[in-house]
A and B are shown apart, each in its own frame.
Chain A
Amino acid sequence: MKAWRILWLALSFLVAILFVWGWQMLADYRIVSPVFLPGPDRAWRSLTLGFTTGDLGMKFLSTVERMFWGWLIASLLGIVLGAAIGTSPRLRTYLAPTLEFLRPLPASATIPVAIAMLGLSDGMVLSVIAFGALWPVLLATIHGFAAVEPRLYEVGRALRLSRPAVIFKIALPSASPDILAGMRLGLTVALILSVVCEMIAGRDGLGNWILLSARSFRAPDLYAGVILLGVLGYGTSVILAAVEGRLLSWRKRAR
Chain B
Amino acid sequence: MAAAANMTAIENDRPPTVISFDTISLSYGNRVIISDLSLDVGRGEIVCIIGPSGCGKTTALRMAGGLVRPSAGSVRLRGAPLTAPRQDVAIVFQDYGKALLPWRTASANVSLAMEAAGVPRDQRQARIPPLLAKVGLAGHGDKYPSEMSGGMQQRIQIARCLAQDPAVLLMDEPFGALDAMTRQGLQDEMLSLVAETGTTVFFVTHDLEEAVYLGDRVVGLLPNPGRVGIDLKVSLPRPRNQLESREMPEFLRLRRELFDFIEKAER
Contact = CB atoms under 8 A, between A and B. Distances in A.
B90 A158 contact: yes
Given A160-B85, A160-B87, A155 B99 contact: yes
Interface in A197-255: 248, 250-251, 253-255
A109 to B, nearest CB: 38
B67 A152 contact: no
Given A158-B85, A159-B116, A250-B103, A151 B98 contact: yes
Contact of B148 (A152, A158, A248, A255): A255
A149 B99 CA distance: 8
A10 interface: no
**Interface SS of chain B:** loop
B112 A159 contact: yes
B250 interface: no
A248 B104 CA distance: 11
Interface residues of B, number: 29
A149 B100 CA distance: 10
A16 B21 CA distance: 75
B168 interface: no
B228 interface: no
Contacts of B103: 173-174, 176, 248, 250-251
Given A154-B67, A159-B113, A173-B103, A149 B98 contact: yes
B98 A158 contact: no
A170 interface: yes
Max chain B Cβ within 10 angstroms of own Cβ: one of A157, A159, A162:
A159
Interface in A104-155: 149, 151-152, 154-155
Interface residues of A, number: 23
B16 interface: no
Contacts of A254: 146-147
Contact of B95 (A151, A158, A165, A173): A151
Interface of B: 65-67, 84-87, 90-91, 93, 95, 98-99, 101-104, 112-113, 115-117, 144, 146-149, 160, 164
Interface of A: 149, 151-152, 154-155, 157-162, 165, 169-170, 173-174, 176, 248, 250-251, 253-255
Given A154-B93, A251-B102, 9 more contacts: A159-B112, A169-B101, A169-B115, A173-B103, A173-B104, A174-B101, A250-B103, A251-B146, A255-B149
